[in-house]
Amino acid sequence: MATLRTDITIERPVDEVWAVISDAGSISTWFPIVKTSSASGEDRHCELEGGIPLDEKIVTNDPQLRRFQYRIVGGRVPVDSHLGTVDVFDRGDGSSLVVYSTEVTPDEIADTLGPAIEDGVRGLKKYLETG
């Protein structure tokens, strides 16, 4: 199992950052590779660039921990096992630290997911800081 991790500081209050992360259906507004997204209950459906469908199960959406976790459970993404975790921390100075980690098999998919996740956290920063 490959483990990926990236983090970024966002110059916005933690509650504002968490509001965006915890709104599961809005990921397409800030994650560049995700073209459309919707969520209902524990289920999220996304369409990626190139029309690739992606079905996810929301595992954790915890406002006290500010932790959002999801698993890829279907679609045309070649994963055997996947757990994505986004944690949002208050830096105490009006900014937030976002840590995005992923555990995935097969290991080879990490070469594709890593850059996409890095683009995602940069997209989140841009969305929150510049609108």
Number of separate domains in the chain: 1
> For 87-106, how does the pLDDT look when each residue is reduced to its tens digit (9 = 90+)?
999 999 999 999 999 999 99
CATH number of the domain to which 101 belongs: 3.30.530.20
Residue 113, pLDDT score:
92
| Interatomic CA distance for residues 16 and 95, integer angstroms | 10
Residue 131, pLDDT score:
80
Whole-prediction pTM: 0.96
Give the residue-averaged pLDDT of 65-81.
96
> For 44-59, how does the pLDDT look when each residue is reduced to its tens digit (9 = 90+)?
999 999 999 999 999 9
Model confidence at 123, pLDDT cuts 50, 70, 90, reads: very high
Tokens 């992360």, residue located: 21
Domain containing 50 equals 2-130
Check if the beta carbon of residue 53 is closer than 8 Å to that of residue 47: yes
Amino acid, single-letter form, for residue 51: G
